[in-house]
Structure 1
């Protein structure tokens, strides 16, 4: 039963992401698209250290570790 709740939660999160992306792509929308948010995060630096890129890399590592390393 717990696995069904987890799958349903991830499916709901995916559907919400799609809904937000569709809302962002409407004419005159003030909601940023996912690509715009990722571009903003990737540009973030502290001095010469690309903290945003390191954060995105860490997120992808975490995601892969939890879902594909079984």
Structure 2
């Protein structure tokens, strides 16, 4: 592995760790931080007229994630 690949893998690991910390903080009693599920719910309800922009954005995000991590 090159140094760049190690740095990228480390950055993704740190990002996952931060997501976990925020999710744990959001699930504490009396927390005002929304959980990841609540954030996704708000995004999924977003519409511009009849077009479900939030659902299209979530679909695009999952497609991008799968393409980059599962297609190879």
Report the TM-score range of the alignment, normalised by the length of the smaller protein. Answer: over 0.9
Alignment RMSD, CA only? 0.6
**TM-score normalised by the chain length of structure 2:** 0.94
CA distance in 2, matches of 1:33, 1:66: 25
Residue segments in structure 1 that go unaligned for 5+ positions in a row = none
Shift of 1:54: 0.3
Residue segments in structure 2 that go unaligned for 5+ positions in a row = none
Shift of 1:11: 0.4
How many residues get paired?
70
Q: Runs ≥4 in structure 1, deviation > 3 angstroms?
A: none
Shift of 1:43: 0.3
**TM-score normalised by the chain length of structure 1:** 0.96
